[in-house]
Amino acid sequence: MTPIKQATRTALAGHELLQASGDVIARRLEIVAEAVRDPLKADLREMSLMGSEKVEALTASASAGLNGAMNLAATTAAVAARETAAAQGAFNAVLTAGTPVEAALAQGRWATAAMGRAVSDSWALGSTMLKLQAATLAPIHAAAVANAKRLKK
């Protein structure tokens, strides 16, 4: 999926989450008000879900976020190691160059390649962040939308 499609899909899911959350909150406030008016007829099952399902959704969201953050950290460490090795190689090429022109060419090759890698890495990082955002939102979105549909009945 392209980054633009990923961002669009996540934005739409965020909008849907906001709508569903509003519907769920409104209905649950009614349920609480009904329970206050007549405690013996309180919907205890629904009232117990108000907390437990939030914990479940937030735990799944946090897990997705943590896993994604760990993967990003590993990727960043690999990029840093790769760039360190490339810089060391370029530095050695400059130091061992036979002429100033060869040294300048070695430095230029490194700089050109480094810029290309930086652009490529930044696109990959952006795409990964969009996927992480979607994965982190998904459990909360799923719970809210399911609740909105269930409570609409």
**pLDDT tens figures, 11-48:** 999 999 999 999 999 999 999 999 999 999 999 999 98
Contact assessment for residue 97 and residue 110, using Cβ atoms and an 8 Å cutoff:
no
Dihedral pair phi/psi, residue 143, rounded to 5°? -65, -45
Please give the angle made by the CA atoms of 16, 18 and 22, to the nearest 5 degrees: 115
Report how many domains make up the chain. Answer: 1
The number of helix segments (H) and strand segments (E) in the chain equals 3, 0
The conformation of residue 2, written as its DSSP 8-state character, comes to -
The conformation of residue 96, written as its DSSP 8-state character, comes to T
Contact assessment for residue 17 and residue 133, using Cβ atoms and an 8 Å cutoff:
no
**What range does the domain containing 62 cover?**
3-152
Cα–Cα distance list, 122 to 61, 115, 116, 127 (Å): 25, 10, 10, 9
Q: 83 in the Ramachandran plot: left (φ > 0), alpha (ψ -120 to 50) or beta? A: alpha
Q: What's the mean pLDDT in 40-61? A: 92
Contact assessment for residue 117 and residue 78, using Cβ atoms and an 8 Å cutoff:
no
Confidence of residue 64 (pLDDT cuts 50, 70, 90): very high
d(CA 129, CA 107): 32
pTM of the full structure: 0.79
pLDDT at position 68 over 90: yes
pLDDT at position 139 over 80: yes
Burial of 140 (0-12, 13-18, 19+ CB in 10 A): buried
* Stretch (H or E) spanning 6: helix 3-37
